[in-house]
Chain A
Amino acid sequence: MRAYFRNIYEGLKSAVAGLRVTFGYLFKKSVTVHYPFEEVKVANGFRGLHHLKVDICIACNQCANACPVSCIEQTFDRIDKENVLVSRFSIDYNKCLFCWYCIPVCPTECITMGAEYELATFDRKSLDYDLVARGERTAKRNMTLFREEFVQVIEKVREKKPELAEKAEGLMGDPRVGLCGRNPEKDKSASSGFVEEEADSQASVSEEVAP
């Protein structure tokens, strides 16, 4: 008999406790993000779409080798012993499984994974992304940075491979194309020197590019 009343009392007590908790939650701020209208903040280390710093990519193809689903493809032209022209760095997001294997193998740390994740599209073919095209601003800076050096390289190449020099010249106006140096250290110094020189005109661009 005592257990019976105790049971009822305990039931009522726990019920009231539960009701208090849910009533409190009723007036708490909801955690919902109204996604298409609001931006979803992703966590640190989120493995979203890839970013390519095309100016330090050396087209070593290690990322493509590391990829378990072979979704990375690089198209490049060798200009000379030191320089390479990456005209296309494609990742097929139909295949990509966002495993992150391509990131640690990169010797120059030029490929990273960003915070974007919106891939919905009406056409499957449009999921074959060109990272050089995506990294437009990086490439533009690269072109400006290396313009002088680039012109020198083209002049050197023109004697041996005239058709390649012509191609490179044609691509010079195209902001999507990156010219890559072999030596990241050298590139860094060049980059900083440039920023000092033309800080006024390029301030906005370098700000956006800065990691």
Chain B
Amino acid sequence: MSFEASIWYLVALLTLGTGAYVVFTRNIVRAAFALVFTFLGVAAMYVFLRADFLAAAQLLIYGGGITVLLLFGVMLTHRHEGMELKLDPLKALPAVAIAGGFFVAIWSAARRADWDLVAPVEPVGTSEAIGSAIMTTHLLPFEEISVLLLVVLIGALFVARRSGEEEGS
């Protein structure tokens, strides 16, 4: 096993282990913190796949941004003592069914796929290619995403404003 491969297995273990912890723990704050490490592991996976821009974006947006917001939300919404998630069998069953179905679908796709084993390539910068693709061939989807985000933002503002008015009156 090469050095890179051993690091890969370590990262895979980190990603899967923290991911499993997110699913199985009952402490919601700990789950949120474990999610950070899952995102970090995924970013490391992107590095192994020579997708450096994606890895940095993953770190910046998921590691630094989304999880901070998530933790902020968790800490604001529940009491200080540490809320325990309750497991409801009626809710667990459909969840297990959906997750199992999804796993089977992915597994079968992975089995059927025609995996080309190529020699590892020297990492090349991907940010330039991504940038020019977004600005030329995929300009319309990019703009649509911005419009979608704007709509979401205005919606969030609207929701926040209404609840604020109710408190005021």
Establish whether A and B are touching in the complex (CB under 8 Å). Answer: no
On B, residues with C-beta under 8 Å from A are none
On A, residues with C-beta under 8 Å from B are none
